Amino acid sequence: MRWTPGDRSNVEDYRGRSGIGMKAGGLGLGGLLVLLVLSWATGVDFLSLVGGGGAGQTETVGTSGTVASTPAEEKLVDYVDAVMADTQDTWEKLLGSRYQPTKARLFRDAIQSACGFAESASGPFYCPSDHYVYLDLGFFDELRKRFGASGDFAEAYVLAHEVGHHVQTLTGTDARMRQLQSRNPSERNELSVRLELQADCYAGVWAHQTNKSGRAATGRMEMESGDLEEGLRAASAIGDDRIQRMSTGHVFPDKFTHGTSEQRVTWLRRGFESGDPGGCNTFQ
């Protein structure tokens, strides 16, 4: 993607507060990050199942104090800020005064949110209670290395999906879905899948806007050739069926919480092709 760094006003840096050196069941950071991806993609807390740096580092200062980081990681922070800004610009235009800004809170290892204590293994998530997106940047490494979902647009898709959950909260969709889950416990997972697929579609709606010619000239993000394919590969890589097959060798449809690879690809593409959030009604 073509993009221009901003002023980081769309991120809050909690990396200096969250480095608590946690381990689970003897797992190091690499193992935790694998669980991070699995948990985000399936909605299952894999960390609970196990009992829950390097050369060239530089010191940078974030909003939470001194943070040990690398130039590559700082560039990634700028990229997250740019995606958050551009995604929200799109939704502000689509929703008008109904839209309320959010930010991405960056952390390492664990963080306390209004939705409770969260660990890296939870993966990126949106908390409807405080309207923030939470992200451990290490998630992107595992998304690329372990699941073959590489490319900057794959990372943007993940963020745009979480902002999609923010839109669902603002429009009341999230609250209605939770009411339905409460009244129909047997349909809890099916309703969760529909909510997640709509967030995928909303990510595609944003991508549709970034694909418009000349947007980079205005300081916004702009898609390049191959970007959509990166996003579709990422959506396919984190389908419930693929993740279950990788982790257990079997597929359990009744445990799906995010949708199959085919479903996630279909809804991301649908949002991209239409650019219309009205076409993202996964509840019909």
pLDDT in tens, 151-170: 999 999 999 999 999 999 99
Q: What is the DSSP letter of 147?
A: T
Please report, for the chain, the start and end positions of each structural domain, with discontinuous segments joined by +: 11-280
- The burial class, CB within 10 Å (0-12 / 13-18 / 19+), for 125 is middle
d(CA 87, CA 203): 8
Position 207 scores a pLDDT of 96
46-50, 98-102, 117-121, range with greatest mean pLDDT: 98-102
Q: Extract the tokens encoding 234.
A: 């990422």
Position 45 scores a pLDDT of 53
Residue 129 has pLDDT above 70, yes or no: yes
Residue 219 has pLDDT above 90, yes or no: no
- CA proximity to 173, closest of 189, 156, 197, 155: 197
Q: pLDDT category, 282, cuts 50, 70, 90?
A: very high
Give the Cα-Cα-Cα angle 84, 90, 91 (nearest 5 degrees): 90
Provide the CB-side half-sphere exposure for 54 (13 A, CA): 4
Q: Kindly compute the dihedral angle of the four CA atoms of residues 231, 235, 238, 240, in this order, to the nearest 10 degrees.
A: 180
Residue 73 has pLDDT above 50, yes or no: yes
Tell me how far the alpha carbon of residue 196 is from its chain's centroid.
11
Position 123 scores a pLDDT of 81
Q: Which residue has the higher pLDDT, 16 or 173?
A: 173
**pTM to 2 decimal places:** 0.83
Q: pLDDT category, 150, cuts 50, 70, 90?
A: confident
User: Checking DSSP bridges between strand 65-69 and strand 110-113, what pairing results, if any?
Assistant: unpaired
